[in-house]
Amino acid sequence: MKKTIKHLDKSVSALGLGCWAIGGPFWSGDEPHGWGDVDDDESIRAIHRALDLGISLLDTANVYGAGHSERVLAKALEGRRKDVVIVTKFNAVFDEETRQVTGSDATPGGIRQACEASLRRLNTDYIDVYLFHDNGFPPEKARPVRDTLDELVTTGKIRTYGWSTDFPQSAAFFADGKHCSTIEVELNVLNDNVAVLDVCEENSLTALNRGPLAMGILSGKYKTGSDLAINDVRGKKSPEWMKYFKDGKPNPEFLKKMDAVREILTSNGRTLAQGAIAWLWARSDANIPIPGFRTVKQVEENAKAMDHGPLTAFQMTEIAGLLR
């Protein structure tokens, strides 16, 4: 299964890897923004396994692990850089030693500085897709951001760009950019976003689906009584925007929705996670899900979804009826 991204000269896999979790812990004050402890060697083995299984799109951000995710990715891709499309993001300002997020910077100078820092950490001389990492930034103030990204394309630092946002006005503004190709949007079977997906389809933009497994809910491994670690973004000190988990436990509302569609998602020999990925492919040709991972086993399970392909139109109709 292959997809194309505007302004790139090579196709990519229909499934990507989300590299947030492999960055390990980082914080804003005492608020965790990572996914808990991680084993770098296992992360590298998992990336290698993904490449062997045909996955060729890797999504990270400068702030994941306060730079650590980009550094792990660079080690894993030694000698294989040309085989993959790297997506990374900018906006956060952080201290790599303390792993503390200290602010944000969307000024032209700040964007250029962040780009150079990501290039060094990734050990590459270009970034395939560079995303603005500020969901709620006012689109009426975003022209300097978009203009700076077009300049970075012209200088060869990046190939194309986009915005990680859940707001259609923001997506539409970037869609008018000369070298825009991508919107990264939170999207899964339990949490659709019709408006942003419409913008992507109307403008032939790729929709990278963050949270395709509802931050782990759709893996099926979390139950009502599950407790998440204190250094996990889903734990008891989770940020205000965290909706899939509350007080360190899975949100019962989403568990109920998952149970309603579990039988359909797991039909035809799929696991629950594979069914959730299949829903996204059936939802729109623009979609490329980017589930996170920390182990080889997780990568293997997610990659197996490509063998099954999308859900059928009938299954999609059934799911829509159940969730209504």
Domains detected in the chain: 2-216+274-309 (3.20.20.100)
| Average pLDDT of the segment spanning 36-65 | 98
Place of tokens 């630092």: 157
Residue 225 has pLDDT above 90, yes or no: no
Write down the residue that tokens 């209504």 correspond to: 324
Residue 90 predicted with pLDDT over 90: yes
pLDDT at 305: 98
In three-state secondary structure terms, 57 is strand
Q: What is the mean pLDDT of residues 110-123?
A: 98
Rounded Cα distance between 104 and 121, Å, is 19
Global model pTM greater than 0.75: yes
Average pLDDT over residues 73-95: 97
Q: Which two tokens stand for residue 129?
A: 């897709």
Grade residue 226 by pLDDT with cuts at 50, 70 and 90.
Answer: confident
Mean pLDDT, the chain, integer = 97
User: In sequence order, what E strands does the chain have?
Assistant: 2-3, 12-13, 16-18, 27-28, 31-32, 57-59, 85-90, 92-95, 100-104, 127-132, 158-164, 180-186, 206-210, 245-246, 249-250, 287-289
Task: Say if residue 113's pLDDT is above 90.
Answer: yes
State residue 178's pLDDT score. Answer: 97
pLDDT at 272: 98
Instruction: Name the percent of the chain lying above pLDDT 70.
Output: 100
- pLDDT score recorded for residue 34: 95
Average pLDDT score over residue span 279-300:
98
Task: Give the pair of three-digit tokens for residue 184.
Answer: 């990264």
Q: 123 vs 119, 174, 209, CA distance in Å?
A: 6, 28, 26
DSSP string spanning 206-222?
EEEEESTTGGGGGGT--
DSSP state string for 177-193: STTEEEEEEE-BTTB--
With cut-offs at 50, 70 and 90, classify the pLDDT of residue 267. Answer: very high
> Is pLDDT at 43 greater than 90 in this prediction?
yes
Evaluate if residue 1 carries a pLDDT over 90.
no
pLDDT of residue 227: 87
